[in-house]
């Protein structure tokens, strides 16, 4: 009988991992054997997961709360499952899905059922991730059509901006001096000045 390990993943540092930790602690997994990443599950290039891979040995058992905590990419979940069970030769237990417990059903039928359930759940996890992104895109587009502005609010132009632009266009001052008088970076001054030109606000100055 090998060692037992747990893996926890939350998508961001703001998300709470307590639910997963409690589930693993109920399995009496030593705290030093629980590995946790706080980042997206889009791939498996996560520091603690990679450390876990280097740690586990044949006949060890890995517990995860649910399949989407392992990852969210359908093909990569299947590939990692193969690496863990075929190459590393460990067992995996998904607590939320008793059928995904490779300690049971070591015969051909048990392995077949486990593989089918894994593929279905992995597909559902990835499909839900795609649906979330699609809903986000649709929500953003709908908000834009309602006039909602995204990103940081634009800073208003300095009160002296037009007058300074006039001096710059007339070559009374340099661009660097113009930016300094407007208290803004030189690149920002050039960009804002260009926007004014495009909007014809400075039309008479640019002729």
11 is catalytic: yes
Active-site annotation holder among 11, 170, 174, 200: 11
Residues 6+ apart with CB under 8 A from 169: 202, 205, 206
Name residues whose C-beta falls within 8 Å of residue 126's C-beta, 6 or more positions apart in sequence.
72, 73, 74, 77
DSSP string, 87-115: IS--EEEETT-TT-BTTS--SHHHHHHHH
Radius of gyration from C-alpha coordinates of the chain: 28
Helices (H), the chain: 18-26, 47-55, 67-70, 74-82, 108-145, 161-169, 175-181, 186-198, 203-206
List active site positions.
11
């Amino acid at each position: 009988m090998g060692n037992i390990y747990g893996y926890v993943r939350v998508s961001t540092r703001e998300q709470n991992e307590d639910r997963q930790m409690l589930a693993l602690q109920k399995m009496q997994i030593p705290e030093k054997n629980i590995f946790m990443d706080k980042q997206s599950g889009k791939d498996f290039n996560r520091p603690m997961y990679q450390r876990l891979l280097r740690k586990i040995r044949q006949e060890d058992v890995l517990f995860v709360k649910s399949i989407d905590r392992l990852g969210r990419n359908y093909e990569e979940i299947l590939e990692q499952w193969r690496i863990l069970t075929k190459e590393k030769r460990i067992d995996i237990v998904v607590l939320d899905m008793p059928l995904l417990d490779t300690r049971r059903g070591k015969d051909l039928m048990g392995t077949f059922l486990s593989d089918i359930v894994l593929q279905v759940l992995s597909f559902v996890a990835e499909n839900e991730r795609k649906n979330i992104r699609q809903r986000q895109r649709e929500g953003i587009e709908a908000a834009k059509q309602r006039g909602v502005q995204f990103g940081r609010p634009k800073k208003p132009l300095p009160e002296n901006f037009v007058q300074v632009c006039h001096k710059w266009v007339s070559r009374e001052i340099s661009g660097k001096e113009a930016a300094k008088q407007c208290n803004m970076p030189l690149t920002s001054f050039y960009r804002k000045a260009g926007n004014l030109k495009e909007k014809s606000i400075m039309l008479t100055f640019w002729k």
